[in-house]
Structures are given as C-alpha cells and as structure tokens.
C-alpha cells in the first residue's frame, strides 16, 4: 500500500515526495529493535542466585546472678535462663553478568529487626583486582570476616563481637550512639585483590574507605539529611587487611583501621562530637588435609572521642586461640577455644578483664544442616566488680541453602 500511495502523490507534484521523518522513524525502530535484541541477549547471560541461612539457639542453662527479689512476697528471682532464641537469619540474592565480570549482591538480616546488611555492586577489571561500592563488611580479623554459618563455634569471641562496633561509632559510654550496632558493615568503596596463589602461596589485600558509621547509617546535609548531618571532606573510615599464604595450609593476616570525624553534627541541632579511633589486629591460621585446624589472633584499639563538652577515652585489646579436631567420617568435630578481652576507661589504670573457655561439639547430619553444642565458662575480673556467675550451655541449630535460579 505505501509505495502505491507515494506514487499517486508524486504524480500530482511532478516529482517523488521526500519523507525524512519516515526514515528517522525507521532508524529509531531499527535502533530500538537492535537494543531490545541486545538486551534480551544480555538478560539470557545474567545469572541469578538465592541463599538463605537460619540459626536457632536453645539455651539449656545460663547462670544469671542478679540478686533480685519479688516485691511483696520477697521471693528470690530466678538466677538462670532457659529458652529458645532466633539467633541469626539471612536471605540474599546474587545477580551476575559473567561476560562483563559484574555482580550485585543483596543480603537481608532477619533477626532483631528486618533490614539490609549487604547491598553492593562489584566489577572485576582483571583477574587480580575487584572493585566494590555499597554496604559491606569492613576489614577485620579472619574470624569476623568469616560468615556466621561457616564459623566453627556458635558465637564469636568477645573481641570479635565488639571490634566492628568500636572501630566505627558505637560507644561503650553513655551517649546517643551507644546502641549504634554496626553489624561489622559500613557504606563505602572497596578494592580487593590477589597476587600469586601458585603452589598454595600468594598475597590477598582488602582496602576500604567508608562513612565510618555502621550499617544503614549515612552522611548527608540538608540536601540528603540522614544519620550524620555534617562531615568534612576526607574525614572517613579507612581500613585495610593483608593476608599472606606462605603454604597452602598456613595463612597470616594483618588488619588496621583509622576512623576520624571532627566537629561533626549528629543532627540539624546537634549534638557536636569528635570521633578518633584506631584498631590493629594480627591473626594466624593453619590446618591439615584431614580437617584439623588451629587459629589464633591478637588485637588492640583505642578511642579518643569528644561528645559535646566531655572527653571520653577507652582502650581495649583481645587475644584468643582455638583448635578443631574432626572425627573421621562421622560428621562430628570437637572444639576448644580460649579468648580474653581487656578494656580500660579513661586510662585510670582500672582494667576489666574477661576470659572465656568454650568447649563444643559440631555435628553435620547432612550438607544443609549443622548442630552445634557449646558450653562457655566466663571469668571476669575487676578491682571494683565481683565475678558474676554467668556460664552458659546452649545448642545452635543451623540451616543453609543456596541455589542458581537463573533457569
């Protein structure tokens, strides 16, 4: 029909009529058709993965020395705890474009409250370097960087549970930040890389620069008002970790970080505070082909904060050692760990020392399930505080799943 109509109109004018808009429309259609075909092809090359983990604690017996009494009757309060807890839960998605070396990961926390813990994109420009931007774990000890569902023990050491918070903005003193849990994560930019890894020897590095505030806390003024209202350019958290594998079964790691924010406002009306924090750690792990392995670490950190007109100084350190002995072909593993955490407020010479002995048995009846039984003996010493009776026996039930759902 179109050629016939064109020839009729052309005969009336004596020459063929030009239609530049038709050629433009055709070019646009061809372009969009090509882009749609390319997009469809790209979609076919995207991989989609799903993961889910859950841990449920059964506290069989935990000693709770409290000295409380019921009003009126004068009955003594229970001095132990027993019950169930939703200890840990994660669901996550991983989107990847293998041809482009691109990945996008989303991981959501389910315990306590539901929110995002990991949300970042990554790109690998070469086989040796990977670039990240988003919210992710910050550099730390090997224990802290190990996912919860892959830990040998059901809980981390005292130092491991606190180093992420104390590297960022949570305070051990009374302030509006004392409840600011970091979940060992921050929002920023990271570079990870490796070199060597030939014959079991190599070097891995991890550099991170971020807000220094913890998970789900951002920096922004009036244009993008969030958790921190003001902050000078360059005053951020900087952390790095280096791992050296001298033998395929022996790896040493070093980690250090510096978090600095001066004269920052927490909100439009304050308060105004300073954050100056430094941490460093060293760790060593070794193993054998049959699964026997040992791990040890040491770390030290300090704070020098100003909150309005008051100065707060806090020093802390920790060390620990552990051993895992798998029972051959039984799904069982025997575990033993000792860790110590020392803290001092105001550099007044009054240290609080907490030492924990943890014994445990792990049993994996199948690849997607693990049962961990841990008993922790806690010993706390302080010149002005008695040693509370707070030992605990508990069972941890873990379930984990992951699959490729691309098809």
pLDDT in tens, 290-326: 899 999 999 999 999 998 788 999 999 999 999 999 9
Q: Where are the domains of the chain?
A: 49-68+77-404
Beta bridge pairs of residue 265:
272
Q: Comparing C-alpha atoms, which of 395, 327, 398, 403 is closest to residue 369?
A: 398
Whether residue 2 is predicted with pLDDT greater than 60 in this model: the reply is: no
Strands (DSSP E) contained in 138-213 are 185-198, 201-210
Q: Give per-residue burial for 145-178: e unless 16+ CB within 10 Å, then b.
A: beebbebbbbbbbbbbebbbbbbbbbbeeebebe
Average pLDDT of the chain, as a whole number: 87
pLDDT at 267: 79
Tell me the mean pLDDT in the region 155-165: 96
pLDDT at 386: 61
pLDDT at 19: 46
Picking from 165-179, 218-232, 367-381, which range would have the lowest pLDDT averaged per residue? 218-232
pLDDT at 11: 35
Q: What percent of the chain clears pLDDT 90, i.e. is strictly above it?
A: 63
Tell me the mean pLDDT in the region 12-33: 46
Whether residue 149 is predicted with pLDDT greater than 50 in this model: the reply is: yes
pLDDT at 116: 95
Q: Name the pLDDT band for 186 (thresholds 50, 70, 90).
A: very high
Picking from 59-68, 117-126, 145-154, 359-368, which range would have the lowest pLDDT averaged per residue? 59-68
pLDDT at 395: 97
Tell me the mean pLDDT in the region 23-27: 48
Tell me the mean pLDDT in the region 153-161: 96
Whether residue 384 is predicted with pLDDT greater than 80 in this model: the reply is: no
CB 398 within 8 A of CB 367: no
What span, in angstroms and rounded, lies between the C-alpha atoms of 375 and 394? 7
pLDDT in tens, 79-88: 889 999 999 9
pLDDT at 206: 98
Whether residue 6 is predicted with pLDDT greater than 80 in this model: the reply is: no
Whether residue 368 is predicted with pLDDT greater than 60 in this model: the reply is: yes
Q: Omega into 23 within 30° of 0, i.e. cis? A: no
Tell me the mean pLDDT in the region 63-77: 87
Tell me the mean pLDDT in the region 183-187: 96
Whether residue 383 is predicted with pLDDT greater than 90 in this model: the reply is: no
Neighbours of 103 (CB within 10 A): 19
What span, in angstroms and rounded, lies between the C-alpha atoms of 370 and 61? 21
Q: Name the pLDDT band for 100 (thresholds 50, 70, 90).
A: confident
Q: Comparing C-alpha atoms, which of 89, 151, 92, 138 is closest to residue 285?
A: 151
pLDDT at 29: 46
Whether residue 198 is predicted with pLDDT greater than 80 in this model: the reply is: no
Q: Name the pLDDT band for 271 (thresholds 50, 70, 90).
A: confident
pLDDT at 52: 97
What span, in angstroms and rounded, lies between the C-alpha atoms of 112 and 81? 19
pLDDT at 174: 86
Q: What percent of the chain clears pLDDT 70, i.e. is strictly above it?
A: 86
Picking from 196-210, 249-263, 383-397, which range would have the lowest pLDDT averaged per residue? 383-397
What span, in angstroms and rounded, lies between the C-alpha atoms of 10 and 20? 15
pLDDT at 224: 81
What span, in angstroms and rounded, lies between the C-alpha atoms of 103 and 48? 10
**CATH level 2 (architecture), domain 49-68+77-404:** Beta Barrel (2.40)
pLDDT at 44: 56
Whole-model pTM: value is: 0.84
Neighbours of 377 (CB within 10 A): 13
pLDDT at 26: 45
CB 151 within 8 A of CB 220: no
């Amino acid at each position: 029909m179109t050629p016939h109509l064109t020839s009729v109109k052309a005969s009336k004018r004596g020459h063929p009529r030009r239609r530049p808009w038709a050629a433009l429309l055709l070019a646009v259609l061809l372009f969009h058709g090509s882009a749609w075909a390319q997009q469809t092809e790209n979609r076919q090359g995207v991989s989609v993965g799903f993961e889910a983990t859950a841990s449920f604690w059964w506290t069989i017996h935990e000693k709770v020395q409290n000295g409380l009494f019921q009003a009126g009757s004068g009955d003594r309060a229970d001095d132990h705890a027993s019950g169930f807890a939703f200890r840990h839960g994660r669901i996550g998605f991983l989107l990847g474009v293998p041809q482009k070396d691109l990945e996008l990961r989303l991981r959501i926390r389910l315990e306590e409250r539901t929110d995002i813990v990991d949300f970042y994109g990554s790109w690998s420009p070469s086989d040796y370097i990977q670039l990240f931007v988003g919210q992710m774990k910050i550099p730390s000890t090997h224990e802290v960087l190990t996912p919860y569902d892959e830990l040998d023990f059901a809980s981390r050491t005292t130092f491991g549970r606190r180093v992420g918070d104390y590297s960022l903005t949570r305070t051990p003193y009374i302030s509006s930040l004392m409840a600011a849990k970091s979940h060992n994560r921050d929002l920023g930019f990271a570079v990870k890389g490796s070199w060597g890894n030939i014959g079991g020897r190599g070097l891995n590095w991890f550099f991170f620069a971020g807000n220094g505030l913890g998970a789900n806390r951002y920096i922004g003024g009036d244009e993008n008002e969030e958790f921190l209202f003001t902050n000078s350019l360059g005053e951020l958290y900087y952390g790095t970790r280096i791992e050296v594998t001298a033998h395929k079964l022996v790896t040493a790691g070093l980690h250090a970080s510096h978090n600095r924010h001066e004269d920052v406002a927490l909100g439009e009306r304050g308060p105004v505070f300073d954050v100056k924090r430094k941490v460093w750690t060293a760790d060593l792990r070794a193993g054998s082909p049959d699964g026997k392995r040992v791990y040890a670490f040491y770390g030290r950190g300090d704070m020098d904060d100003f909150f309005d007109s008051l100065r707060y100084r806090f020093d802390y350190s920790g060390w620990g050692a552990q051993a895992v002995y798998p029972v051959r072909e039984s799904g069982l593993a025997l575990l033993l760990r000792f860790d110590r955490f020392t803290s001092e407020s105001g550099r007044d010479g009054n240290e609080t020392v907490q030492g924990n002995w943890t014994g445990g048995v792990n049993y994996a009846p199948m690849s997607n399930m693990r049962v961990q039984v841990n008993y922790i003996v806690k010993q706390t010493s302080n010149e002005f505080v008695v040693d509370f009776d707070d030992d605990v026996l508990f069972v941890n039930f873990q379930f984990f799943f992951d699959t490729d759902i691309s098809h």
